A = this chain, B = another copy of it.
Amino acid sequence: MEMKVEKKYGADISSIKEAQERISSYVHKTPVLCSDSLNAIAGRSLFFKCECFQKGGAFKFRGACNAVLSLDDDEASKGVVTHSSGNHAAALALAAKLRGIPAYIVIPSNAPKCKVENVKRYGGQVIFSDPTMQSRKDTASKVLQETGAALVHSSNDSKIISGQGTISLEFLDQVPQLDTIIVPISGGGLIAGVTLAAKSMNPNIQILAAEPMGANDAAQSKAAGRIITLSETNTVADGLRAFLGDLTWPVLRDLVDDVITVEDKEIIEAIRLCYEILKVTVEPSGAVGLAAVLSDNFRNNPAWQDCKNIGIILSGGNVDLGVVWDSLRK
């Protein structure tokens, strides 16, 4: 067994650099795109870190790969398990496939067929649960007991946070002049890793979280000074409905500078701009950072007047074109 080292925030610049060492030959170093047209619309210089081009179509592969590769051979031989119907599930299945170990993915029975197919395509073993969170957790526990597989949570996990943090190592190397990074927030694994790495490299950099108004638990949590969970969420950004955990929340509380909330219609307009101007397929959750930069909430806030060189993480691009097109026409 690896000795557990207590880390104040679940990860730090060392664990993130170790993650980079571990995963760099497996993950894509994703490109940064720029557009003069979008800069003109935003009135700032925007730099888009295109994690939609990451293997599996989202940043999630970084963390999943770090988690799977961190297991010792004994642990690994029993496989990994998670409950998720989204990008983390597919990413974990893909990472497990690369290591040649089983991935048990608990998926609620009402999950979209295409997401189930994604997991199967990467060789994941799908186990259906009832749609409730309790049933998902119970089913995952049962699989854990039966298989001895290692549970890999989608966000509240040190290895996951460290893996996602590798984005900042690349991003600040690609665009050293970044003064701000805007990051979608859901369970908080992405923003925790990005923040811990970026603020260690440049303590003056601003980190802003972006989330939909219909799932604004991060904004509420930051305002209340404690984790708030919502009894229901309502947003087109289906990937941003998870809640903070005990490893990710302290980073939001202490180190993230603010949370910007956007309306769904702003997310949909941002998707359109990504498609038509940047020429990039993003899923609704992936477009929330651009939506934030273009929102009145951001533009009219004097606190952000000095943000000139803004990094935006386009977190993923897994979307059925038909779904996007339908939302654009609404």
Contact = CB atoms under 8 A, between A and B. Distances in A.
Contacts of A34: 28
A317 B281 contact: no
Interface of A is mostly: helix
A69 interface: no
B36 A272 contact: no
A201 interface: no
7 contacts: A31-B31, A33-B53, A52-B279, A272-B321, A276-B321, A279-B281, A279-B282
Shortest Cβ-Cβ A-B pairs, 3 listed: A279-B317, A31-B31, A279-B281
Contact of A280 (B55, B121, B277, B280): B280
Interface string A24-62: 000010010110110000000000001011010100000
A321 B325 contact: yes
Copies in the complex: 2
A278 to B, nearest CB: 8
A275 interface: yes
Contacts of A319: 276
Contacts of A36: 55
Given A52-B279, A55-B36, A281-B276, A328 B321 contact: yes
Contacts of A37: 121
Interface in A48-97: 50, 52-53, 55, 57
Interface of A: 28, 31, 33-34, 36-37, 50, 52-53, 55, 57, 121, 272, 275-282, 317, 319-322, 325, 328
Contacts of A57: 277, 279
Among A37, A55, A57, A321, the one with the most B-chain Cβ atoms within 10 Å of its Cβ is A321
Nearest to A31: B31
Contacts of A278: 53, 281
A15 B37 CA distance: 30
A323 B28 CA distance: 31
Nearest to A316: B279
B276 A279 contact: no
A120 to B, nearest CB: 13
A325 B36 CA distance: 26
Contacts of A28: 34
Contacts of A276: 281, 319-321
Nearest to A55: B36
A321 to B, nearest CB: 6
A277 B279 CA distance: 14
